[in-house]
Amino acid sequence: MQDRFVHCIAQLPQPLADQLVPLLNQDFAGHMDAQQVADLAQATQMSQDELLLAMLPIAAALAKPPISEFYVGAIAKGASGDIYMGANLELDGEALFHSVHAEQSAISHAWLSGETGIEDIIVNASPCGHCRQFMNELVEGQAIRIHLPEQATQPLSHYLPYAFGPADLNIKTPLLSKQQHEFALESADPMIIEALDHLSLSYAPYSEGYAAVVLETRDGATFCGRYAENAAFNPSMLPMQMALSAMARHNRDFSEINRAVLIESSQGKISLVGATMDALHAVAAVELEHIMVDPV
């Protein structure tokens, strides 16, 4: 079991702790498939809602909050039935807009894993306005069920009435919808090819600033992020935030980064290069490779 789970495992009901310990191995990064979740519910004699609420301390253990020292965990349940954990991330000494909220982390985890819909969000504190707006960008966002400890389950529409979202700006394919944007770039570099794949899947309907980041560690592992824009602009999630959040979930230290690539559309109304460089230089002594590509 990873060291970061030692303290939180003691907070769980003993039958659940016994079942989880073998799963929390060195490869665990917060994902469980639908069958694993069903098996855990059966073994512990808990309902699935009870089970997911009980596992929030595991999600919170994925957090890196050096500024607030406030650990928040969230779990997103995808349409597939798989669950995706996320946690808050803060960059030490850097502006707070670089922070990632737990709900954003969990949703981006699901998106990077191929989910096209989120049905439930389980979180250990009421979602802030930033996260409510971020969730409202998703496919059928208003219908997402929000589960909180010792509170009745309510849809997002309960927490965000009179919402403003993609439909108000005539966007018909909201975040998590299947979409593909084509860009012209020839490269034999595997890392740039991976970045281009994520660029094509990024979501930037308001600025057309499609973008993706790939981070490579010294052992050759890569961690990716895609731009996820928002109708209210500020809750947008930058690809560097998403990539660093993925690294944190995998229990990797940012000092291990030895290469970083940002790839952007040349036709976007904005550029993410400044914010991306700021975040990168806050965590690693690596220069950013910045590539602009033309849409097809």
Write the secondary structure of 132-184 as one string of H (helix), E (strand) and C (coil): HHHHHCECCHHHCEEECCCCCCEEHHHHCCCCCCHHHHCCCCCECCCCCCCEE
* pLDDT for res 54: 97
Beta bridge pairs of residue 289: 261
Angle at 150 between CA 147 and CA 153, to 5 degrees: 30
Pair (187, 151) in one structural domain: no
| Residues 294, 296: Cα–Cα separation, whole Å | 6
Q: In what order do the strands lie in the sheet containing 183-184?
A: 183-184, 288-295, 257-265, 211-217, 222-226
For the chain, how far is it from start to end, CA to CA, in angstroms?
47
| Residues 235, 160: Cα–Cα separation, whole Å | 14
Number of H helices and E strands in the chain, helices first, is 11, 11
CATH number of 260's domain? 3.40.140.10
In the residue annotation, 103 being an active-site residue is answered as yes
Q: Does 175 reside within a domain?
A: no
- At residue 184, does pLDDT exceed 90? no
Per the CB < 8 A criterion, the answer to whether 156 and 136 are in contact is yes
- At residue 84, does pLDDT exceed 90? yes
Pair (72, 127) in one structural domain: yes
* 227-251 average pLDDT score: 97
Q: Does 197 reside within a domain?
A: yes
* 49-62 average pLDDT score: 97
Catalytic position from the list 50, 69, 90, 103: 103
Pair (116, 55) in one structural domain: yes
* 237-250 average pLDDT score: 98
Least confident of 95-99, 109-113, 285-289: 95-99
Pair (111, 220) in one structural domain: no
The DSSP result for 203-266, as a single string, is B-TTT---EEEEEEETTS-EEEEE-B--TTSTT-B-HHHHHHHHHHHTT--GGGEEEEEEEEET
Q: Does 237 reside within a domain?
A: yes
Pair (134, 258) in one structural domain: no
* 155-180 average pLDDT score: 96
**Residue ranges making up the domain that contains 208:** 183-295
- At residue 259, does pLDDT exceed 90? yes
Pair (153, 8) in one structural domain: yes
| Residues 245, 99: Cα–Cα separation, whole Å | 10
Helix axes 129-136, 102-112, angle to 10 degrees: 20
* pLDDT for res 9: 95
- At residue 125, does pLDDT exceed 90? no
Pair (164, 236) in one structural domain: no
Residue with tokens 């400044």: 274
The total number of structural domains in the chain stands at 2
Q: In what order do the strands lie in the sheet containing 118-123?
A: 31-32, 83-87, 73-78, 118-123, 145-147, 154-155
Per the CB < 8 A criterion, the answer to whether 175 and 167 are in contact is no
pLDDT in tens, 267-282: 999 999 999 999 999 9
Pair (135, 208) in one structural domain: no
| Residues 199, 186: Cα–Cα separation, whole Å | 14
Residue with tokens 């394919």: 173
Residue 219 structure tokens = 């052992």
pLDDT in tens, 133-152: 999 999 999 999 999 999 99
- At residue 292, does pLDDT exceed 90? yes
DSSP class of residue 16 equals H
* pLDDT for res 179: 85
